[in-house]
Structure 1
Amino acid sequence: MKKQVDLVIEARWLCPIVPKNTLLEYQSVVIQSGKIVDICAITSASDLYQANEIVQLTEHVLIPGLINLHTHAAMSLMRGVADDLTLMTWLSEHIWPAEQAVLSEQYVQDASLLACAEMLSGGITCFNDMYFYPKATSVAASQAGIRANLGLVVLEFPTAYATDAADYLQKGFDAHDSWRGNPLISTCIAPHAPYTVSNQTFETVLTYAEQLGLGIHTHLHETRDEIAQSQTEFGLRPLQRLAQLGLLGPNFLAAHGVHLIDSEIDMLAEFGCHIAHCPSSNLKLASGIAPISKLLAKGVNVGLGTDGAASNNRLDLFAEMRLSALLAKGMSEDATVIPAHQALEMATINAAKAMGLEDKIGSIEIGKLADLTAVKLNESIINPCYDPISHLVYTCGREHVSHTWVTGELRYSNGLYANIEPLELKEIINMWQPKLQLHKH
């Protein structure tokens, strides 16, 4: 008697990520109630299982859904508002004034939906976000059917969203309570950066994070200016200051980590911290190039992020995988640094670990959630293909993504979304672009 299951995906190639450096051929992934219940040869699966649906990927490689470890989804409507500027000029003269003009719950929900559509079409099944009105982001993510780890953003200064650090935290916890029980949404606390958050607030954040078992997600060592400012104000580099405040640990995720000295890399390794590497954004804002090969050599867990579309212009993890591998090779003058499989790990299991979700997502393993991405390798212009993993990182682009599943539900397929109408996205753009046009650099 065959066992009844929801879905069987038959793949020409399967890259499970765990175990490392594995590529399987002609495999079926068997899915029931959103979870992977078996991985076996296509012939075995057809003998063992009766599926409600069978998807045949005869020219595809199936990989775990990609995970965007650092982004600001609601900045997608600010794509190209201010380009070719340094970080502080970009922020203080363009992005912050633009945010002041449009920031509202509706704006965040609309802009986040646009970001979710872009991410799903590029094979991203989960994103780690940091922005105002996280409840609005959760509504957009739930509609799109994408997984999100939403940061409860904390700052000292007032915005349309909140007045001071205590207000940010209160609003964040209200949002956290609102999505309790939503299987797609998880939470971390997101103090924006050492240059916008006081010692007292960091200590409060730490207390809450420990009480609630939440991760901490912050910007860190993104620019030289940030470090110089910290040394002037506190007599310490930002990472030393956070270490003294007790923030470092396995639940601490630092975005960027561009300017790290060797002793700081050792410290990150010792405390089991994580880095979200955002190579495109760091290059575009001329922040520098993070010492990723040194971090990895010391055993620091590094995942990949896009940052927001305002400082990258794309929420595209294929671009980040390729760039992270190439930059690391160029910087170290060692072509063996970050081979293709490691770049793919950074976009999947490493990112899952950084959010404490590696028991659920980040690899194709029995018992894990069926967050999966299929990439089609049949186009002549990207062939011949000798090694599908190398191909994913060095040859393919997000346009080669054919299917994106989240918990076994097909959310995107060949240009169509399960829960997002193209007209809805056009209306969002037409509504907000004129309001943001005023801040165009």
Structure 2
Amino acid sequence: MGTLLVKNAKSIVTMDGERRVIEGGSLYADGQEIVAIGTDIPYAEADTVVDATGMIVYPGLINTHHHLFQTLTRNIPLAQDCELFEWLGTLFDIWRHLRPEDIYNGAVVGLGELLKTGCTTASDHFYCFPKGISGELMDEEIRAAAELGIRFYPTRGSMSLGRSEGGLPPDAVCQTDNEIIKDTIRVIERYHGSDRFAMVRVGVAPCAPFSVTSDLLRESAALARSYGVRMHTHLAETLDEERYCLDRFGVRPLEYMERHGWVGDDVWYAHGIHFDDDEIRLMGRHGCGVAHCPTSNMKLSSGVFKLLRMQEAGVRVGLGVDGSASNDGGSMIGEARMSYLLHKLAHGSSSLDAAGALGLATRGSASVLGWNDAIGSLEAGKAADMFMIDTRRLEFAGALFDDAALPIVTGMSRPVDMTIVGGKIVVKDGRLTGIEEERAAEAAQASALRLFNEASLRTGIDYRRSRLHALK
């Protein structure tokens, strides 16, 4: 893959165990691996040389929860101003029309947006498999990730408990347990990489307690552990979910999942807002992780994540942007900033500083994905995954006093200047290098419009009307 030299940086924010900031630093990588980092490294030439004068270099951000297909259903008026179950009910009628080319187009846009905001590793939870459509939909996401050059952690999601059997999703987007297990095995065997610097790792991810059968939960846990891959699901996102579990199973969501093998250091949950103190302590003892998704949680009025209690109990916490339709954007820097501001508001001025928010999106997220031996910080022996911002921008004037805090405190009104994944430049001057952005945007908008129109024709619903207007 060649060598990389990043030299003369204003600073390198390492996010290592000491949170070192190396003023005037340089970095050298051979292939994907950082070989040297510091102010006086013994390398002057490389296959690729980046003059980082005026730049701050940061470790690549890591997204621990996303639904890339939802990129095509952002800003749908009827899906605004409602809570999770109602929001899902509206969008399921649109998602049931997804085709393989839509999955690819949505992934290109969603992953491209992440790269342009400093994200170098993205996990995705893909769970919507419409009946009559090819089951090999995850392959389209993985193809898009390879073209863009992002490190990718897709999780093979699933829904098998449709409305006819008491679940939340319509039967038209559910599969049988056997179909799910068969395709999950295929995806793991074809794509999962166990190498430390693998560009693709695969997880197993039934959607949620209200959309899968008990048998599928047990079989998925056994399957994941037989292959040595990690496990992911939504949990404790809303009080509606809690009531559903109490009414249907007689227990709270975490106890239900624990009964089916879904507690352990190989498990991470998305959201985790409504865990009580005993549950948080149990998760800490078992080494569970949680993907904290502040923007989505605020938009859907789901609640405020108990960050401080989680961290005190030893629960591993990272950041996720969640589905683009419950965020309407995919900015990882924006998500880190949102976590910083939310917990200032909810827990007081000393709750989470800017470096701590950056830490959630780097070291914290790497730990959640079980990948902290290779990503999450800039150190010798770790992956050359990083992003850079030019401090000579107008919006940073008067703010150059704390380099680690800069993008979190000030926010980013434009894309980062450069993103590098595994030693390869994938964003340069704020533009993706692997695709033609305008063509990708046009294709994705065409997919979005077709989905919207097909759903409108089938249901007779005007999705352009806001929910608040429709209620009047």
CA contact (8 A) 1:157 1:165 kept: no
> Are 2:122 and 1:124 equivalent residues in the alignment?
no
Aligned residue for 1:97, secondary structure, equals helix
Per the alignment, residue 134 of structure 1 pairs with 138
CA contact (8 A) 1:318 1:398 kept: no
> Are 2:305 and 1:308 equivalent residues in the alignment?
no
CA contact (8 A) 2:159 2:173 kept: no
Per the alignment, residue 237 of structure 1 pairs with 252
Per the alignment, residue 9 of structure 1 pairs with 6
Q: How does 1:404-419 map to 2 (within 5 A)?
A: 404-419=419-434
- Deviations 1:238-278, CA, capped at 9 Å, x for gaps: 00111222321111101001112111111111111001000
CA contact (8 A) 1:376 1:400 kept: no
Per the alignment, residue 356 of structure 1 pairs with 370
- Deviations 1:107-132, CA, capped at 9 Å, x for gaps: 11111011111111111111111114
- Deviations 1:108-163, CA, capped at 9 Å, x for gaps: 11110111111111111111111142111101101111111110112214767762
Question: How many Å separate the matches in 2 of 1:220 and 1:312?
Answer: 18
Q: Which runs of 5+ in 2 are unaligned?
A: 128-136, 163-170, 456-462, 465-472
Counterpart selection for 1:168 from 168, 174, 180? 180
Distance verdict in 2 for CA 1:173–1:161, change over 3 Å: farther
CA contact (8 A) 2:126 2:158 kept: no
Distance verdict in 2 for CA 1:87–1:240, change over 3 Å: same
- Deviations 1:381-424, CA, capped at 9 Å, x for gaps: 32222101121211131625110011000001113222111232
Per the alignment, residue 33 of structure 1 pairs with 31
Aligned residue for 1:172, secondary structure, equals helix
- Deviations 1:165-196, CA, capped at 9 Å, x for gaps: 22122112222233256931101100101111
The alpha-carbon deviation at position 91 of structure 1 amounts to 0.7
> Are 2:59 and 1:64 equivalent residues in the alignment?
yes
Counterpart selection for 2:148 from 144, 150, 165? 144
The alpha-carbon deviation at position 198 of structure 1 amounts to 2.2
Aligned residue for 1:419, secondary structure, equals coil
Distance verdict in 2 for CA 1:162–1:135, change over 3 Å: farther
> Are 2:74 and 1:79 equivalent residues in the alignment?
yes
Q: How does 1:161-200 map to 2 (within 5 A)?
A: 163-180=175-192, 183-200=198-215
CA contact (8 A) 1:153 1:169 kept: no
Give the residue type in structure 2 aligned to 1:175. V
Is the deviation greater in 304-313 or in 241-250? 241-250
CA contact (8 A) 2:161 2:213 kept: no
Higher strand fraction (1 or 2): 1
Question: How many Å separate the matches in 1 of 2:172 and 2:378?
Answer: 42
> Are 2:292 and 1:277 equivalent residues in the alignment?
yes
Question: How many Å separate the matches in 2 of 1:136 and 1:404?
Answer: 23
> Are 2:32 and 1:55 equivalent residues in the alignment?
no
Is the deviation greater in 81-90 or in 255-264? 81-90
Question: How many Å separate the matches in 2 of 1:346 and 1:199?
Answer: 32
Per the alignment, residue 346 of structure 1 pairs with 360
> Are 2:216 and 1:212 equivalent residues in the alignment?
no
Question: How many Å separate the matches in 1 of 2:125 and 2:304?
Answer: 22
Aligned residue for 2:201, secondary structure, equals strand
The alpha-carbon deviation at position 312 of structure 1 amounts to 0.2
Question: How many Å separate the matches in 2 of 1:48 and 1:113?
Answer: 36
TM superposition score normalised by structure 1: 0.93
Give the residue type in structure 1 aligned to 2:93. P
Give the residue type in structure 2 aligned to 1:31. A
Per the alignment, residue 105 of structure 1 pairs with 100
Q: Which runs of 5+ in 1 are unaligned?
A: none
TM superposition score normalised by structure 2: 0.87
Q: How many residues align?
A: 431
Aligned residue for 2:96, secondary structure, equals helix
Counterpart selection for 1:381 from 395, 408, 411? 395
Distance verdict in 2 for CA 1:380–1:419, change over 3 Å: closer
Question: How many Å separate the matches in 1 of 2:406 and 2:45?
Answer: 33
- Indicate the RMSD between aligned Cα atoms, in angstroms: 1.8
Percent of matched pairs sharing the same residue: 28
CA contact (8 A) 1:66 1:125 kept: yes
Per the alignment, residue 131 of structure 2 pairs with none
Per the alignment, residue 95 of structure 1 pairs with 91
